[in-house]
Structure 1
């Protein structure tokens, strides 16, 4: 269940007659528990409550108590030994009149009347595996409104299927935007009386809903007609009390979809909500899912936290404004200059979605302006910050409309907060007809036409705000001497994308078309500039266009991006063409998790990169620790060093032994098998014991999993294929390869005994290096395998290596280099032989250095052996790592790092600075040879 479904279930439960016996089970059902789980709890098999309540292990202990005993019962639940033993995260008590609950992890509590507990459902969402951000816990209105609007939307499309077609989808989305405005307006005195919109529909439309669409259409027509023209237009008397709104919101067609009785009921219920509680920065991103078939399953999850957005906006420009405010003190002239400066600042989000970044930026700037006005004794002064300075581009029309609406609502709410309700109302209507959100493809549009160079204006005017053609900005607006700040959260799409397993034919086709469009978009930005543009992440297009914009206009930019753009091959392919001609990284936030509302949506690991053409020091923020450093330069790896680009090398540059990819089976499961099959094959092939070898895939060696494989020559195959068990496995391989669409794989069908790619002889001493490793580990978990083991292509192989090579590879210093230049999967380490190992900078080693490192490697391997049969995963768990093994690694790091600088490095940043310095020297010397 998603958050919206849970809220609806809880609301329905609170409105039913309270049943003391049934409440605990109905409550748990509402939070997504399966019927079988409820059945087991009813029988008592899983209910371990010692207080006559219901106790669900790892989740909640709840109890229905006698009237007036709620507080005492909650204390008993909290003190209960059963609560502790079951590791319950919540306790809850109710008597049907009052309800109290406590989060035992955080100590937070709620206390309310029973009928009001749906207003606190966000507090209890962890029971459904959904962790919530603070703003959602404090206000559940946005999820509630999203859910109700979604039900209305689906119901209307059921009776008006043509409104769901591509031809009419815009009309449907525009209709929903109009409704949202009306619900907000009737609860905030923008309309003259409370409940004016909903009440009029309820009174004037038939209960059978036959004329509901006509009533709403007439109201829309009234709101688009000036008072002087209403008599001539024949506006109905009952609609004439509505104000003239215009601004494009109600212009154009006033068609309304037909309403069923259910849809009419939904609309009236939505109107009964308290729309004064709307948060435009939250609501906008949630409501966009209503009109998106692909996203509707995640209703209520589309919320990006304000703190995350401020990680972009604060260092981009808000911190500077606040510093200037503090410097101004109570100096009237300095305060006036700052206010005048703010009036000319433009915030531009070329991937704006429903406007989160723009709304937050607007609200933060209004807050600063309000402080200025208070210090100058002008608290009732009208704002000088126009919402037309908050511009965006959005590919889809509904989020674009919601972005405009969210900014309109934010402007009104700020006016009420800082100037008062009367002043806000006096200047709110009619809405301005300017268009400042563009619906279009950001990578195809000219950003200078949407945010033109300061001092010039786009002279084409829109007839209205919402219904105008949206392929370009349409503002006649002078902004002499202003600043432009580009920001946002562009789409997270890699160079290649695949349809999820089991996806429908329609989904596969849609994803294919989207991939083709994205490819064409990137080509339009990069062709003729970067040869390898096809391998770039989609977000690179935004960075390049922002850099181009900054070379012409006084602007700075910052985007949230998957951290892959600052790691691995993306760096040397993309950034040299971007960081040039005065463009530099002026701030960055290193990798952190960018999460929406739900913990089950694990979030995307991202970084934030800021670009500017202005000189000065740069700020580097640690995404995990939250610390910040001022540095001379930040390179594309987000390291405080010169702009260096590490490129793939086919062999080690510094005399180390090569690391090679593992061997690829491409076998359909025929060549790889478990111990039981291995035993059968060995029994059948007496005298051929060496053809059944230990096999280690991506995680096998690290986690102590043993598998086996057939590793045979052509001569051995001719004998083995006569044996039934072997013949069966060879047939599996042949069948799989014959069906393959890849020519290389298909060609291997005639050699079913052989791996598709063979990279070892099979009799070497081999160390396996996993392709990926958890970021939680302090060392890369290299595994020494039995002689003759076969390493699969999920890892890399080190054959008969000198042990001093192992010492270097397993060091903290090598790990920091791999983390920086090889790229990551989320935040987990990803190893690359050509990019990480072959480029690892190494000082010239003496024979004594090698001997010392060899002893260190031996010490690590002996420490491992002492803890047999513990797996590598166990040994390198940072919480469980044996003290002697950690000490052996510390000795290894001590010896190696003294070779580099004569002492231990203080941290990874210092390690990387030294490594980049050596890399620069190493590549410079190679270039001279």
Structure 2
């Protein structure tokens, strides 16, 4: 994404295009900045402002014409449920904002924001929170995060306070894209790493000059601007000389011929400005090459350098810089931020809560405080999928805050930290994010030193940077984690391939950490089995191959859990990762948690499924869990669910308070109820299946074919009441059917397809092309159970069909079904069991007869029980019938479910639940506890303590 040079007007350009309904924060910031830079147009400003936040061109047009503008203020524009804007005469902004607040139209149209400006002053208010903005007009882009809800972006406070990071990222992105356009050879795979290295150096320089790391009078941006004034074509030479100076000790600068105008810059070292080995091989030079700058690229550089880089937030900035350097991610700039609250959901129960608890317990006891500080100095935090370092940076900053409080209580406020950055280790697959992770940690260390010790002390010890490489670039699933974060009391040699690499004879890190603790954390890649490439599948084979034969369908993230457990067997270490909820559902539970439990690990804490969203206005994200594991057997396990905390003796693999019992699929039901099959499977290439128009045409042309046509129903046909049909021919009617030309043609097509198939089932049925390859269909009434249905529905959508309908393999089916079975299948008890033990397809339930039905725990039913359940089933069916022709999708919409149908289900739940415990269950957790208890008894499984 690049909106072009700064002398172009992005807002004006967007005004001539079709507006999108959503924009990401970086795009919004660019548009807002462009609006602030162009001449103020009092009449146009409200429409320009709304356009900058992603309103479509048609929306703006209707407001401009007055069709949807509800404002009662002169010069005002009011967008319902959004914002009331007014431009005004000079010096009247305050009065105008008051008028907007008091306007009856503001209230009746439910405006969330009010905004007033005269082109010199800018004021706004969030009417929901009461927060306000008051600034010069030119400065209002600095507050663009305040207005992100206008674009449908729900923000947390940390995001709204990180406007600088988003602005800096958008400008770095423009520079990055322009440099690649001006230096196409740098865009090649061979040179892209060089480009990324160069950007890391720039980021450091921008930060260093605004935080006094560079001495007064030697400012990077000012020097580049002055030395290349009127000669943009030598910009690369100026930057190259500055980089050379920063990599040369002061005593050697005369001999190295460093220019006098660069000689005052400090020696940075740390290989940040040293030579790249690949470049040495190409050019024989030990100097880092710099791309050439066009006039536009130079102007971008100067503009970026003039931002206030003291505001950089390494918590978020690393992720955004990573996106700048990634072609696939650049189109989603601003969507890669992992919020601090979400990261703390991992770090707090993993280690920070314990540290804070000991700090509180220590009070002002100097000895206890010292012991805690000594303990913290030996704690290692290891993220084996660290990306640009978010988790490590947050862990470091939170621990520095605790350490600073210790020092304050001990009367040593200026004491140097005893927690080395090398205690915060990581592995990242790509080299550039690995470099950014180390850079983010360096910046975080400096900022913490300034905050807790003062700028003088921070500056005195910041440079030169050390050369230790503690963020490793490589495939975490193929690296030996114990060689990167070794058992306590041992040393390690790390050889990196990134910007911060060091010669082998300098790479040994003194890592004597006897008695220390190690905590593994992070947010590894998820990737279901169908989305992995060859390398990733080989990774799974390497990790699980010697442990289990049953792992192929596991999500990729599961490999990090197993590697963490193997790591924890060698040295004391707890681990917690963000993961897909799939690893705690369905068949994946047995694949992952079976081996982990056998290795002696248990779940120390967990967050039940929640939405791990990003910054995108379309709320793109995934439903995740957080699971912390330990082989230390905590006395109390902590279970978090929608903000609530439950302390329990044990958290089971389904993330509920229960034993470590695992539900395994079974070909035989553990209860005595009717058998459930999958529906009828055609494997026909579409030749035995008919749309309604095809069915009508067939019967019109061949009336004799009507007797061979039946309804055909799967999940969607049942839920949406859509019509499909199939050709169904019994063996004793084949000769008659085969004489119908259209059926004969279709049978031949099926025979040809099955004969050519590599599937054994299809091959075996090639000689009977008139029949489905799997056909359990029987006459009589049957219950249909969709195999895929939305989790939003409060109950599973089940129903009855007669024998004129063939149930497809898109659904499960019980033939010759007794009515009480409908009551059981339609209950909250069964829905919760399926939601827990069956797999998911995205956010939908994926019903399994072997996992959902055959394993369902149910007390033995008396005849009276069956009578009561029959009555409940009939009431549900009558309530459905009363709302004909509403579809199942209509009836079970959670926001529109008819009240009589809801009451019928409530009565059904009460009757069934009384069979279990003599009363209604209090909540779903209690339902599941009883179901797993009963499952354990019915299967004879021994519950883990």
**What is the TM-score with the length of structure 2 in the denominator?**
0.89
Task: Report the number of matched residues.
Answer: 909
Whether 1:487 and 2:487 are equivalent positions in the alignment is: no
* Contact persistence 1:350–1:486 (CA under 8 A): yes
- Closer, same or farther: CA 690–86 of 1 in aligned 2, 3 Å: farther
> What per-residue deviation string (whole Å, max 9, x for no partner) do you get for residues 771-829 of structure 1?
23333333222133455233333332233311122222122221221111113345543
Secondary structure (helix, strand or coil) at the match of 1:654 reads coil
* Contact persistence 1:682–1:688 (CA under 8 A): yes
- Closer, same or farther: CA 921–677 of 1 in aligned 2, 3 Å: same
Give 1:480-519 correspondences, 5 Å limit: 480-497=514-531, 515-519=533-537
Give 1:865-876 correspondences, 5 Å limit: 865-876=881-892
Tell me, which stretches of 5 or more residues in structure 2 are unaligned? 1-22, 276-286
Match of 1:9 in 2: 31
Match of 1:861 in 2: 877
* Contact persistence 1:651–1:838 (CA under 8 A): yes
Give 1:638-677 correspondences, 5 Å limit: 638-664=655-681, 675=692
- Closer, same or farther: CA 126–771 of 1 in aligned 2, 3 Å: farther
* Contact persistence 2:428–2:472 (CA under 8 A): yes
Match of 1:448 in 2: 482
Whether 1:158 and 2:158 are equivalent positions in the alignment is: no
Match of 1:19 in 2: 41
- Closer, same or farther: CA 876–264 of 1 in aligned 2, 3 Å: same
> What per-residue deviation string (whole Å, max 9, x for no partner) do you get for residues 210-239 of structure 1?
211111111111111111111111111000
Give 1:724-873 correspondences, 5 Å limit: 757-761=774-778, 764-785=780-801, 788-873=804-889
- Closer, same or farther: CA 674–390 of 1 in aligned 2, 3 Å: same
Match of 1:508 in 2: none
Distance in 1 between residues matched to 2:514 and 2:389, nearest whole Å: 25
**What is the TM-score with the length of structure 1 in the denominator?**
0.91
Give 1:393-412 correspondences, 5 Å limit: 393-412=427-446
* Contact persistence 2:562–2:596 (CA under 8 A): yes
Residue 574 of structure 1 and its aligned partner are, at CA, apart by: 2.0
Distance in 1 between residues matched to 2:764 and 2:44, nearest whole Å: 65
- Closer, same or farther: CA 248–50 of 1 in aligned 2, 3 Å: same
Greater mean deviation of Cα atoms: 591-600 or 750-759: 750-759
Secondary structure (helix, strand or coil) at the match of 1:606 reads strand
Distance in 1 between residues matched to 2:84 and 2:932, nearest whole Å: 56
Secondary structure (helix, strand or coil) at the match of 1:111 reads strand
Match of 1:261 in 2: 295
Q: Pick one of 903, 923, 936 that aligns with 1:907.
A: 923
- Closer, same or farther: CA 546–98 of 1 in aligned 2, 3 Å: same
Residue 110 of structure 1 and its aligned partner are, at CA, apart by: 3.1
Give 1:124-139 correspondences, 5 Å limit: 124-139=147-162
Match of 1:627 in 2: 644
Match of 2:269 in 1: 246
- Closer, same or farther: CA 751–67 of 1 in aligned 2, 3 Å: farther
> What per-residue deviation string (whole Å, max 9, x for no partner) do you get for residues 444-472 of structure 1?
11111111111111257999971337999
* Contact persistence 1:684–1:723 (CA under 8 A): no
- Closer, same or farther: CA 828–91 of 1 in aligned 2, 3 Å: farther
Secondary structure (helix, strand or coil) at the match of 1:62 reads strand
Residue 636 of structure 1 and its aligned partner are, at CA, apart by: 1.4
Tell me, which stretches of 5 or more residues in structure 1 are unaligned? 498-513
Residue 177 of structure 1 and its aligned partner are, at CA, apart by: 0.6
Match of 1:534 in 2: 552
Match of 1:500 in 2: none
Give 1:300-311 correspondences, 5 Å limit: 300-311=334-345
* Contact persistence 1:618–1:633 (CA under 8 A): yes
Whether 1:232 and 2:236 are equivalent positions in the alignment is: no
Give 1:29-108 correspondences, 5 Å limit: 29-47=51-69, 49-51=71-73, 53-56=76-79, 59-74=82-97, 76-77=99-100, 89-103=112-126, 106-108=129-131
Match of 2:3 in 1: none
Distance in 1 between residues matched to 2:811 and 2:604, nearest whole Å: 37
Distance in 1 between residues matched to 2:110 and 2:686, nearest whole Å: 42
> What per-residue deviation string (whole Å, max 9, x for no partner) do you get for residues 734-754 of structure 1?
999999887877999998876
Residue 708 of structure 1 and its aligned partner are, at CA, apart by: 4.2
Q: Pick one of 166, 173, 179 that aligns with 1:143.
A: 166
> What per-residue deviation string (whole Å, max 9, x for no partner) do you get for residues 66-109 of structure 1?
33444454455556666667665544333322333444555544
> What per-residue deviation string (whole Å, max 9, x for no partner) do you get for residues 867-896 of structure 1?
333332333333433343333323322222
Match of 1:297 in 2: 331
Secondary structure (helix, strand or coil) at the match of 1:913 reads helix
Match of 2:586 in 1: 568
Residue 358 of structure 1 and its aligned partner are, at CA, apart by: 0.2
* Contact persistence 2:431–2:497 (CA under 8 A): no
* Contact persistence 1:778–1:878 (CA under 8 A): yes
Q: Pick one of 405, 417, 423 that aligns with 1:371.
A: 405
Match of 2:304 in 1: 270
- Closer, same or farther: CA 834–244 of 1 in aligned 2, 3 Å: same
Residue 722 of structure 1 and its aligned partner are, at CA, apart by: 8.5
Residue 193 of structure 1 and its aligned partner are, at CA, apart by: 2.3
* Contact persistence 2:269–2:467 (CA under 8 A): yes
Residue 579 of structure 1 and its aligned partner are, at CA, apart by: 1.8
Residue 430 of structure 1 and its aligned partner are, at CA, apart by: 0.9
- Closer, same or farther: CA 66–691 of 1 in aligned 2, 3 Å: farther
Q: Pick one of 885, 894, 897 that aligns with 2:910.
A: 894
Whether 1:179 and 2:178 are equivalent positions in the alignment is: no
Distance in 2 between residues matched to 1:925 and 1:177, nearest whole Å: 56
Give 1:682-693 correspondences, 5 Å limit: 682-686=699-703, 688-693=705-710
* Contact persistence 1:212–1:258 (CA under 8 A): yes
Distance in 2 between residues matched to 1:269 and 1:211, nearest whole Å: 18
Distance in 2 between residues matched to 1:311 and 1:244, nearest whole Å: 40
Greater mean deviation of Cα atoms: 131-140 or 172-181: 131-140
Distance in 2 between residues matched to 1:471 and 1:631, nearest whole Å: 51
Q: Pick one of 384, 387, 392 that aligns with 2:421.
A: 387
* Contact persistence 1:173–1:291 (CA under 8 A): yes
Match of 1:422 in 2: 456
Residue 58 of structure 1 and its aligned partner are, at CA, apart by: 5.2
